[in-house]
Amino acid sequence: MSTAPEALRPVVSFLLFGGAFYVVLRWVTAPLLVHLGTGVEYALNVAAAGLLFPEYCWTRAQRRVSGHAAAFAYTYGDAVCALAGAGHRCAGTLLTALHAAAVRLGHRGSLWCGALGAAALVVPRLL
C-alpha cells in the first residue's frame, strides 16, 4: 500500500478541519453557550468569595481584638461585590450576543466560517 501523495495531505486536512468546524459551529456552539453562562457565573462567584475570604478573616480577628471592624473592610467588600456584579453583567451581555449570533448562523455561514478556520490551520503548515 502506498501513502497519499504529499499534495493531497493539505487538502484532506482542510476538508477534515472544515467539516469539524462546520459541525461545531452549526450544532454545538449555541447549546454550549447556554451552559457556559452558568459556568462563568459560578467562576465569578468563586473568585469573589476568594477575594473576600482574607478580608473576612482579618475583620473577624479585628473584631475579637478591638470589638469593631477595620474602617476599610466595608469599602473593600463593596468594591469586590461591585466588580463581581460588573463581571456578571459584562459576561451576560457578551454571552447573550454570542448565543444570538450562533443561533442565526445558518448552513452557508457555518460553511464559510469552517472554511476560513480550516484555512487558518492548514495554510501556515504549507508555508
pLDDT digits (tens, 9 = 90+) for 43-85: 999 999 999 999 899 889 988 988 888 778 789 999 999 999 9
Average pLDDT, the chain: 88
What is the identity of the amino acid at 45? N
Spatial distance between the Cα atoms of 39 and 11, rounded to a whole number of angstroms: 37
Structural domain containing residue 64: 37-126
| pLDDT on residue 8 | 83
Is 17 inside any structural domain?
Answer: no
Is 119 inside any structural domain?
Answer: yes
Is 1 inside any structural domain?
Answer: no
pTM over cut 0.95: no
3-state class (DSSP) for residue 5: coil
For the chain, the domain total comes to 1
Is 105 inside any structural domain?
Answer: yes
Other Cβ atoms within 10 Å of 109 Cβ, number: 15
Alpha helices in the chain, H assignment, sequence order:
8-23, 29-66, 72-104, 107-126
Residue labelled with grid coordinates 472554511: 115
Is 29 inside any structural domain?
Answer: no
What are the cell numbers at 110?
457555518
